[in-house]
Structure 1
Amino acid sequence: MQREAPSVLRELVHQLGEPAYLTVLSGHGVVTVLTERSSRGLQAHEWVGRTTPLNCTATGRALLSGLADEEAEALLVTGGDARLPGTDAAPRDVPAVLERLRTERARGYAVAVEEMEPGLIAVAAPVRDHRGDVVAALNVSAPVFRLPPDAVPKVVEAVVAASHRLSARLGGGEPVA
């Protein structure tokens, strides 16, 4: 993945003009392991090494999409607080996350509009290995003013295509039944 992902991320940045990220599960969160920056002046600060929540990020839910509901629930339950992190736009309890996850599994991608923080939108799709298991997620995020609702379908198409390219390079594809 370390060898194949950079070129896929660069292609995505070239196509969309927004930064692209590769993330993996880390404990009860998501950690960014690779970033390809765009030439735009206004960008999110450096994400590599930063852990973010599962419930209110597109990457978190893209990574959870490869797990059974019970496994996803185990990762979402992190302690005594039943209210999960994020803004009011985010699913903030386990049943709400699982409901959103079912829809996103069927679509093959996740979109988070101002769920982790106001003003930020993200689109993510899972990356699968040779067994069909989700091993990472590709993500593009941008300020909402640069990625309005009418632009989201183009970004979804590009991110899903990029995740399929990277999956194919890893010998992967759809989950094995």
Structure 2
Amino acid sequence: MLTYLHYDITILYYDITIDYYGNTMLHYDITVFYNDITILHYDITMLYYDITILHYDITVLCYDRTMGHYEITMLCCDITVLYYDITMIYYDITILHYDITIVHYLITMLYFAVTMLYYDYTLIYYDITMDYYTIKMFHYDITIFHYDITMLYYDITIFHYDITMLYYDITLLHYDLTVLYYDITML
């Protein structure tokens, strides 16, 4: 039976700058350390004309189950989505229902959604076993990557993270958060 000994989630340098002309999100880094499971470097950069997801790195190192050495490494899965001329007038930032659930031996990432006025960006079901990576932008579904990796020993649901933006001129700098357990609700 798996014993959860050490599960740390660290959100470092969550820097949001919003003005009348655009929205900028810089360096949203999530680091999850669970025994020998390491999820590193989930960076999102959002600009007014440019949406870029950089360095979605998942590293699973040194999981020993049957006196052997089990290692899966995924590094630097870079996704760049360029779209232009997005009109954003009123902004509101609402962070709701930040859920982290540890289930049983598999890494699953569900439902990262960013919703704005006149603009929808949805990234759904990044699953390492079924690996289905979808970006919804203006009612067009684009499958960016499709992996087929079987991981026998892990099952971790990472988060459910929503952002809704209205109103303008909001600046959040260096929003640091360290969580040692399962659930976060940020309002």
TM bucket (normalised to shorter chain) is: 0.3 to 0.5
TM-score (norm 1): 0.35
* Greater strand content: 2
Higher alpha-carbon Rg: 2
